[in-house]
């Protein structure tokens, strides 16, 4: 392979003034490591310099591009050789850089300070010894060896690249997600980096003039929902477990699903040639959701029960068979989902918004958002966290009822049908995680009736979106909180859109056909049936556009 001469690499000591400044800034007592160049610097095909931590002998990949590293050298870009793909290139780069010293493990969720219960991420374990939830805990001491400015620059430098695996919005934050995984084991479909939509017209025309209203379109993603963010992490870890040297006998990966999880699981498993098994509540998910796992070759069981029933069954089955459980009970998924929060901060140049509104069902995602924001705060990337709002459908509102009761005894409910079918969950697995996240952020829970959520979705569509009903729930919560004056017009507010509207097209068809009983469908816009002649067409257009012929 051709090796380009480069001024920066001829020096044994790497001296990036900018990086050095970043690493030394904030606090000297942070014991900033001395950095010197790894031999990889000599490979101009590697866009990220690999820095070696001299004192401890560990290296970490660093964001500085060649041009940043030495001031005024020319950027030399030579194409990777044809006999090496991006995965192999990453593997070679990783091998050369050695261990970076970051790590993560499972601990009981909200463990007491004196708890010593920990598990390796290579263990197949979903619950703590006491039967509680688990959490992935990162080695913050290792991460804190670098100041927040370092992490900000590192993550910013990776956005939108094809360099494996950093082109993914999840894996561009690999050190905060699964630091120890070999890039070769990562199963990524370049998820994340989703559109942060400036909801200019919705904010201006329908919310009393909110200039800083944004919709984080997590559903504009490979399988059409935010589930891709978590599934890339879980399936990557399963891939690692199944392959050498661990060679674990995992026959497949299974989940119960309200539709989106199964779509994500089957796509990622198909990409990695891992069997997937999905349990779906019969007749309770959209056709678009159902056809995704079918198309991706999953074993699809359509079961005559609701989501909570499917969840019970998959837990029993995974206790008997070597099937890895992919539900959000599994805390690995939340590690990927939390990157949406980091991405929001990044998209605002690391300024913290005032509010983030997340639709909640099984309640893993609201905690994932909290975790992403809190991790950035603790590691100095930002100085505070936003207030979180969890929005629930009134037909499936166990968290809302719990909140309204002043967080007294939680009672699961039987969730009724809702257009927001993916959050039709009465006994959320992550209830404790959600309560923790909301209490820690001075958060709020709001609910939306079917009419409120469908109207909010349809109004948003009228301003150029194509929202799903779950996003409608979050938007309806925003409308209510604006009306109550809790969220003010000046507040920078993010509504998290969790799925693509196209997956829920039938609900829009029903709404616009005014076929929903007890619903006025105020913003419906049915197509006009017109006779095939000029006069009829003109009549309709003149009336619709309120124009006179001849002007």
Ligand X SMILES: Cc1ncc(COP(=O)(O)O)c(C=O)c1O
Binding site for ligand X (CB under 6 A): 225, 258, 260, 328, 359-365, 422-423, 468, 470, 498-499
Is the CB of 33 or the CB of 293 nearer to ligand X? 293
Token digits for 328?
Answer: 């959000």
* Nearest CB to ligand X, comparing residues 68 and 427: 427
Distance in Å, CB of 59 to ligand X, minimum = 36
Query: Look-up: residue for tokens 């556009």?
Result: 545
In angstroms, the CA 255 to CA 342 distance is 26
What 3-state class would DSSP assign to 539? Answer: helix
Nearer to ligand X, 155 or 268 (CB): 268
CB of 232 to ligand X, least distance (A): 16
CA pair distance 11, 429, nearest whole angstrom: 54
Of 158, 155, 150, 157, give the one whose Cα is nearest residue 21.
Answer: 150
Considering beta carbons, is residue 468 or 477 the nearer one to ligand X? 468
Sign of CA dihedral 284, 288, 289, 291: positive
- Closest approach of Cβ 474 to ligand X, in Å? 9
Give, for 339, the enclosing helix (H) or strand (E): helix 339-347
User: Within 10 A of 192 (CB to CB), how many other CB atoms are there?
Assistant: 26
Tell me the closest approach of the beta carbon of residue 338 to ligand X, in angstroms.
12
Report how far apart, in Å, the C-alpha atoms of 20 and of each of 39, 290, 542 are. Answer: 19, 52, 67
Q: How far apart are CB 125 and ligand X at their closest, in Å?
A: 20
Residue among 395 and 498 whose Cβ is closer to ligand X: 498
Closer CB to ligand X, residue 260 or residue 308? 260
User: Min. distance of Cβ 498 from ligand X in angstroms?
Assistant: 3
CB of 302 to ligand X, least distance (A): 17
CA 144, 182, 98 angle in degrees (round to 5)?
60
Comparing CB distances to ligand X, the nearer of 60 and 255 is 255
Q: Please, what is the minimum distance in Å from the beta carbon of residue 239 to ligand X?
A: 23
Q: Strand 355-359 to strand 387-393: parallel, antiparallel, or no bridges (unpaired)?
A: parallel
- How far are the Cα atoms of 134, 233, 283, 364, 432 from residue 429, in angstroms, in the given order? 12, 19, 22, 8, 8
CB 187 within 8 Å of CB 180: no
Nearest alpha carbon to residue 256 among 391, 415, 428, 396: 428
CB of 360 to ligand X, least distance (A): 4
The nearer residue to ligand X, 170 or 499, going by C-beta atoms, is 499
Cβ atoms < 10 Å from Cβ of 209: 11
In sequence order, the β-bridge partners of residue 391 are: 359, 446
Nearer to ligand X, 143 or 177 (CB): 177
Residue 145 CA to its chain's centroid (Å): 26
Reduced to 3 states (helix: H, G, I; strand: E, B; else coil), residue 12 is coil
Cβ atoms within 10 Å, residue 43:
22
Nearest residue to 493 (alpha-carbon basis) of 506, 482, 509: 482
Q: Of 207 and 423, which has the nearer Cβ to ligand X?
A: 423
Instruction: Provide, rounded to whole angstroms, the least separation between the CB of residue 205 and ligand X.
Output: 26
């Amino acid at each position: 392979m051709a090796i380009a001469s480069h001024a920066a690499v001829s020096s044994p000591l790497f001296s990036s003034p900018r990086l050095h400044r970043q690493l030394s800034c904030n606090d000297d007592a942070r014991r900033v490591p001395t950095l010197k160049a790894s031999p990889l610097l000599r490979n101009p095909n590697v866009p990220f310099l690999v820095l070696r931590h001299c004192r401890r002998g560990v290296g970490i990949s660093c964001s500085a591009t060649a041009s940043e590293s030495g001031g005024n050298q020319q950027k030399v870009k030579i194409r990777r050789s044809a006999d090496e793909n991006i995965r192999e290139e990453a593997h070679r780069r990783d091998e050369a850089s050695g261990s970076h010293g970051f790590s993560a493990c499972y601990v009981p969720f909200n463990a007491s300070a004196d708890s010593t219960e920990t598990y390796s991420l290579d263990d197949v374990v979903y619950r703590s010894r006491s039967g509680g939830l688990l959490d992935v805990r990162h080695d913050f001491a290792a991460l804190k060896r670098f100041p927040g400015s370092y992490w900000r620059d590192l993550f910013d430098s990776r956005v939108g690249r094809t360099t494996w695996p950093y082109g993914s919005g999840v894996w561009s934050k690999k050190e905060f997600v699964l630091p120890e995984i070999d890039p070769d084991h990562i199963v990524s479909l370049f998820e994340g980096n989703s559109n942060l939509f400036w909801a200019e017209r919705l904010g201006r025309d329908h919310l009393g003039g909110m200039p800083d209203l944004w919709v984080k379109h997590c559903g504009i993603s490979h399988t059409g929902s935010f589930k891709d963010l978590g599934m890339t992490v879980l399936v990557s870890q399963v891939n690692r477990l199944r392959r050498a040297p661990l060679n674990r006998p995992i026959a497949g990966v299974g989940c119960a699903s309200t539709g989106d999880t199964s779509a994500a699981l089957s796509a990622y498993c198909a990409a990695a040639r891992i069997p997937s098994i999905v349990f779906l509540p019969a007749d309770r998910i959209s056709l678009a959701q159902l056809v995704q796992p079918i198309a991706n070759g999953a074993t699809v069981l359509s079961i005559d029960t609701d989501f909570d029933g499917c969840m019970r069954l998959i837990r029993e089955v995974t206790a008997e068979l070597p099937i890895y459980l992919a539900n959000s009970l599994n805390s690995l998924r939340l590690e990927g989902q939390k990157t949406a929060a980091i991405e929001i901060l990044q998209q605002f140049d690391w300024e913290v918004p005032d509010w983030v509104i997340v639709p909640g069902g099984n309640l893993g995602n609201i905690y994932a958002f909290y975790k992403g924001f809190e991790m950035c705060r603790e590691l100095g990337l930002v100085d505070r966290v936003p207030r979180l709002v969890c929005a629930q459908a009134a037909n499936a509102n166990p968290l809302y009822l719990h909140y309204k009761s002043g967080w007294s005894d939680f009672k699961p409910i039987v969730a009724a049908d809702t257009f927001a079918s993916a959050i039709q969950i009465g006994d959320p697995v992550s209830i404790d995680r959600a309560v923790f996240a909301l209490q820690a952020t001075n958060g709020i829970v709001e609910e939306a009736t079917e009419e409120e959520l469908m109207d909010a979705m349809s109004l948003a569509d009228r301003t150029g979106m194509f929202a799903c009903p779950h996003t409608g729930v979050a938007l309806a919560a925003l409308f209510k909180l604006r009306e109550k004056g809790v969220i003010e017009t000046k507040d920078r507010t993010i509504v998290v859109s969790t799925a693509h509207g196209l997956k829920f097209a039938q609900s829009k068809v029903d709404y616009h056909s005014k076929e929903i009983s007890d619903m006025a469908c105020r913003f419906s816009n049915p197509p006009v049936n017109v006779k095939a002649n000029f006069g009829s067409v003109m009549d309709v257009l003149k009336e619709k556009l309120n124009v006179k012929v001849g002007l």
